[in-house]
Structure 1
Amino acid sequence: MGEWTGFRSSQLRVFKNGRKTDYKPSMKLLTYNLKIKLTGLACLSILLYLLIVRFDLEHDDVVLIKDLKVCKTNMATEAIVRVENSKAFLVSAYLDERFSRMLRIISIVDRASRLKFYCHFCNGSRVTSAKAKVEVQSNHFNFPYGSANILCQVPGEAGVVSSVSVSTEQKSYPRTPFLPIRSIKKVGGRAAYLRNFTVCISTLFGNYSNVLQFMQSLEMYRILGAQKVLIYKSDCSSLIQKVLDYYTAEGMVEVIAWNIHHHLNVSKSWKPSIDPGDLHYYGQVAALNDCVYRNMATSRYVVLNDIDEVVVPVLHRNWIDMMHYLSLGHMGVESFLFENNVFRHRIVGDDGKFDLWPHVPGVNILRHVHREPLKLLTFNARKMIVNPRAVVWTSVHMVWEQMGATLLVPASVARLQHCRSDDDLLVQDSELIRDTNLWKFSTALIRNVNQISSRILESYPANK
């Protein structure tokens, strides 16, 4: 017979010429067999280790780093902070307790980037790290960068957190400056607020210098009931800065130094075909959302419009009466959209009656009372008054995500008076609609502007 060899347990059986012979294997064979087993065991251990590490990376367990004094010393000093080794910029951080200790970081990110991000929460000298989720908002207007939420669930182990940093590596030393964390609590019932109305202006750029209209808008906000105006400023003229300094010292205005143009090639338009760049309109969407969240706990309503726009009531004398009327008639509505009406500042319609500040540079909104008729079957760029506690994310002309309904406010109740250059070039001057509704506020507006201009603009005295 031929030769057959088989293995069983630790013995080797050999069948040779029909006879069975049992004998113990040689030391050389045992050593070889042991090497095979050890090699297999080592491979299995490496595989298990890799699987465990991969599982850890995928599930991102909480990492505690003790005695890290960087949270106290490395705090952000600018309104916009770049995340190290990434194309992402942080604006502000809010502990959104409406959604179970969710940290929401308002950000600006490169939409093509696929980096992972991690939040590092500071509690005293201890940092707790957790994986972040990035939600890029769809209102990016086809620019390469868009506004985003970087979301992190705050781990229970983190305790009471005071600041947060963001990095692209989970266990790295967080070198991106820490942002202070503001708390957003779920508010119900008739809570008391510091203010009834806060106005958000985004953004002031292009060496803005329209002094008279700027003062008139701020004074109209005051007359109508606003107690605070937040202005996201990139740059302005020296004279506007002087006006800003006055209102800031007075307490009515808060200026946020909006320095996104130091980081990106920002556009001055709403779409790339008009003015190419990295980001829509100086990051207007991120600024608006930051303003909403900043005022969520302090203001009953937030008004979202530009500095050349004023929501002017038709039926009422102020915003509080107007909003009371709208709220009673529309239960469950949390965002109120006002029809945009362009008043051409090229057309004068007051017969010189309100030509009161010839030495103050800028547009006098009291003199321009001819508006363009609305375009049929086209988008109307409405602006808003919102309950900030119901807002999750807003765009420029509508709230994209909220807890509640939206109302298109009838023009018979109020209009957005937008005093600017011609918008619809197909409309002839003869087709404009004369609208003097603003004049019912003229006495108070003239008095206020006279006072402010005489105090601020010494070289541009108001006519008494």
Structure 2
Amino acid sequence: MDKSTFKKFIALSCTITIIFTLILAYTSDFSLSKYMIPFYNVPKMADALNSITPIKDSEHFMVSAFIDHRLDGVIRVISIIKRNNLQPLYCVYCNTENDCKTVQADVQIHSDNFGFPFHVSDVICKGKHMENSTHVLISTKDSDNNNTEYLPIKNRVSTNTFKFDFTICISSLFGKYNNVLQFAQTMEMYKLLGVQHVVIYNTSCGPDLEKLLKHYETEGILEIVSWPIDKFLNPSPGWNFQEHKGDIHYYGQLVTLNECIYRHMYQSRYVLLNDIDEIIMPYKHTNLLSLMKDLQSAHPSVGVFRIENHIFPKTQFEDSGKFKRAEWNNIPGVNIMEHIYREPDRKYVYNPAKMIVNPRKVQQTSVHSTLKEFGGSYNVPFDVCRIVHVRDPLQGHLTKDQLFVDKRLWDFEQELIPNVNQTLIFSGLLRPWS
């Protein structure tokens, strides 16, 4: 056989072998996996876009996993646990060579459940050499964990340098929320205050707001985390189980707030925990960075700064109409520039503060205060910083002359208004004008 004929023979043989193998792969009694070397037999990873993974043979769910360097490198799995049906759980943690170990888990259900049957929990995995682990699952069994989805382990390396100075965590977006104008104004206001990153856990929103979200995502300031909690549970639209019912508090708000803190443990110097219609506004500083430099200098050990909430009723309008702009007439939502009247503080009523936190000093958080932290918390004085919260009134019986005039937002009008208009144009919600 000459050299040319031999090459053709080899090529034909390889082709026939490949075709024969593929035919066999589709028959019921042949499996390619039996003949693959162990390198390919890696655990199946959970779909990162879903962000909620059922724990097999249980009513519980995994959300995300992190190395906690503050607690000797344990693995912390942010989870949703059904409180009255908690069986023993196990951590199966593996390294890149698919070398897996199993240990019994320590389940820490957060204390602020508000009466709901499902609640955010930390599943703590303690074992040897966890710092080398790359993926983990929570199981109801201490062995036989085949065909189970694993979570990638994040925060494997701690650092003192951060990509962002400030990240805002918006805990849940649901119910076809479509308050476009207020959202655009709030985002542009935060950019002027020095925020570089915003995270939204999105269950659903309206069509106009979706356009705006896509613009900010393309711009790079917004990270959207898919949060299909309604595909797994019956989420409550409120915080009180007796009143609002449902499986889990406020569309899983407490799960997402805790997840967001750990997600940005080594990405952001500070994390702001507040709602989509709230602006944490400095009153003695031009931006958040200068505010936090002064607060941290005065309170070096503190990692939690609580900011008072103050209501600006959207039912009371500024008299001159100077910010009732024609180009915004067809944009859905509230124009926060028109609402400068602030309700008086009621010292006898609990003020649901929001927080600016150093994520490396927080273990567990609720909505208005942390549950476990290192270094304590500090209540920031009202005259230094407060929340501008434009919403339905809480003291609706008050007349306009019984409210306080607060024009802090107007200090930013020269930059804020053109920035809002530009954003609405880029989002396709506003036509350019001459």
1:311 aligns with 2:280: yes
Query: Which blocks of at least 5 consecutive residues in structure 2 are unaligned?
Result: 1-36
1:58 is aligned to: none
For 2:377, give the aligned amino acid.
T
Matched-pair contact (CA < 8 Å) for 1:167–1:174: no
Matched-pair contact (CA < 8 Å) for 2:171–2:257: yes
Separation in 1, partners of 2:303, 2:340 = 31
Question: How far did 1:457 drift?
Answer: 2.5
1:131 aligns with 2:101: no
1:152 aligns with 2:122: no
Question: How far did 1:92 drift?
Answer: 0.5
TM-score normalised by the chain length of structure 1? 0.81
Divergent runs of 4+, >6 A: none
Q: Which shifted more, 229-238 or 72-81?
A: 72-81
Q: Assess, with a 3 A threshold, how the Cα gap between structure 1 residues 73 and 175 changes in structure 2: closer, same or farther.
A: closer
For 1:142, give the aligned amino acid.
G
Query: Which blocks of at least 5 consecutive residues in structure 1 are unaligned?
Result: 1-65
Question: How far did 1:387 drift?
Answer: 0.6
User: Deviations along 1:374-412, whole A, 9 cap, x unmatched?
Assistant: 122221110111111111111110111111121111111
Question: How far did 1:426 drift?
Answer: 4.9
Q: Assess, with a 3 A threshold, how the Cα gap between structure 1 residues 307 and 181 changes in structure 2: closer, same or farther.
A: same
Correspondent of 1:253 among 222, 227, 239:
222
1:278 is aligned to: 247
3-state SS of paired residue (1:93): strand
* Pairing of 1:51-70 with structure 2 (within 5 A): 67=38
For 1:177, give the aligned amino acid.
E
User: Deviations along 1:137-196, whole A, 9 cap, x unmatched?
Assistant: 01111111111000101323x672111111101112244311110025555xxx321111
Structure number with greater CO (CA < 8 Å, separation at least 6) is 2
Matched-pair contact (CA < 8 Å) for 1:195–1:299: yes
Q: Assess, with a 3 A threshold, how the Cα gap between structure 1 residues 410 and 94 changes in structure 2: closer, same or farther.
A: same
Q: Assess, with a 3 A threshold, how the Cα gap between structure 1 residues 76 and 120 changes in structure 2: closer, same or farther.
A: farther
3-state SS of paired residue (1:274): helix
1:461 aligns with 2:434: no
Matched-pair contact (CA < 8 Å) for 1:228–1:253: yes
* Pairing of 1:394-405 with structure 2 (within 5 A): 394-405=365-376
Question: How far did 1:76 drift?
Answer: 3.0
Separation in 2, partners of 1:271, 1:428 = 30
User: Deviations along 1:295-316, whole A, 9 cap, x unmatched?
Assistant: 1101111111011000111111
For 1:135, give the aligned amino acid.
Q
1:93 is aligned to: 65
1:115 aligns with 2:99: no
Question: How far did 1:463 drift?
Answer: 6.0
Separation in 2, partners of 1:390, 1:330 = 14
- Name which one, 1 or 2, has greater alpha-carbon Rg: 1
RMSD (Å), alpha carbons: 1.8
1:417 is aligned to: 388
Q: Assess, with a 3 A threshold, how the Cα gap between structure 1 residues 244 and 160 changes in structure 2: closer, same or farther.
A: same
* Pairing of 1:329-408 with structure 2 (within 5 A): 329-356=298-325, 357-408=328-379
Q: How many pairs were matched up?
A: 394
User: Deviations along 1:225-253, whole A, 9 cap, x unmatched?
Assistant: 01110000100011111111111111100
1:198 aligns with 2:198: no
TM-score normalised by the chain length of structure 2? 0.87
Q: Assess, with a 3 A threshold, how the Cα gap between structure 1 residues 406 and 350 changes in structure 2: closer, same or farther.
A: farther
Correspondent of 1:140 among 104, 113, 116:
113
Separation in 1, partners of 2:433, 2:368 = 38
Correspondent of 1:451 among 415, 418, 422:
422
Correspondent of 2:55 among 83, 100, 124:
83
For 1:347, give the aligned amino acid.
Q
Separation in 1, partners of 2:432, 2:243 = 39
For 2:392, give the aligned amino acid.
S
2:402 is aligned to: 431
Question: How far did 1:425 drift?
Answer: 4.0
Q: Assess, with a 3 A threshold, how the Cα gap between structure 1 residues 249 and 392 changes in structure 2: closer, same or farther.
A: same
3-state SS of paired residue (1:265): coil
Separation in 2, partners of 1:339, 1:317 = 18
Separation in 2, partners of 1:200, 1:321 = 20
Question: How far did 1:367 drift?
Answer: 0.5
